[in-house]
Amino acid sequence: MSLAKLRSHEIVRKAIHLSSSIIPLSYWFFFERHFTLEIVILLALGFLTADYLRLKSGGVEKHFLRVFGSALRQHEQKNLTGATYVFTGSVVAIFLFPKEIAVPALLILSISDTLAALVGIPFGKHKFLKKSLEGSTAFFISTAIILSIFFPESLLINLAIAAIVTLAEAYPMNLDDNFLIPILSGILLSLASLL
């Protein structure tokens, strides 16, 4: 396995995915919840509309694929794109959870999920559920680091949450991980806050 396996379309895809960290970071440092939610809802509706039009109209699909086709995975050709799930998951996370939970949950999605692919695709040699052990390890470590930044006093809980979310990412239950990761992370962090 080598870096050659990380094709240019996957690098572009992960660069876009990583750029979604702008949402939680701007929410944390600059904007209040209502404004952030409005922006993310608009983005989610825009991507949902684009997907709907693309899937219903051959002409729209042709233009869409000309621009974005190289960044799409095979299963996205006839389904919603990962970007749609990212923004839809962001809306749900920001709506359901307080800022101190929504922000790390969304950072796990943008950072940990990106690192899992950047490590797992070129260097993954050992299978772990539906992913690679190497990629899942990168996901786990980066998730634990993100959680330790926001919840430095909860080491064991952070490790437990990181492990659960890593397992879910490695074996998604017929639910796109771009939607699953922030919602599951938010639920687990909410439960942990009750302890």
Rounded Cα distance between 104 and 181, Å, is 11
Q: What is the pLDDT along the chain (195 residues), one digit of tens a residue?
A: 455 555 666 677 778 888 899 999 999 999 999 999 999 999 999 989 988 888 887 776 666 666 565 555 665 566 788 889 999 999 999 999 999 999 999 999 999 999 999 999 889 899 998 899 999 999 999 999 999 999 999 999 999 999 999 999 998 777 888 999 999 999 999 999 998
CA dihedral of 35, 40, 41, 44, whole degrees rounded to 10: 170
Nearest to 89 by CA among 7, 180, 20, 188: 180
- DSSP 8-state symbol, 151: -
Domains in the chain: how many in total?
A: 1
Q: How far is CA 110 from CA 19, 25, 63, in A?
A: 7, 11, 27
DSSP letter at 126 equals S
Rg of the chain in Å (alpha carbons): 17
Q: Is the sign of the CA dihedral 29, 18, 179, 155 positive or negative? A: negative
Between CA 44 and CA 74 the distance in angstroms is 21
If you search the block for the tokens 């233009």, which residue do you land on? 63
46 token code pair: 């825009």
Q: Which structural domain range is residue 31 located in?
A: 3-193
List the structure tokens of 160: 């437990």
| Chain centre distance of CA 48 | 17
Measured between alpha carbons, how far is 131 from 170 in angstroms, rounded to an integer?
5
Task: Give the 3-state secondary structure of residue 154.
Answer: coil
Backbone torsions φ then ψ of 124, nearest 5 degrees? -70, 120
Instruction: State the pTM of this model.
Output: 0.86
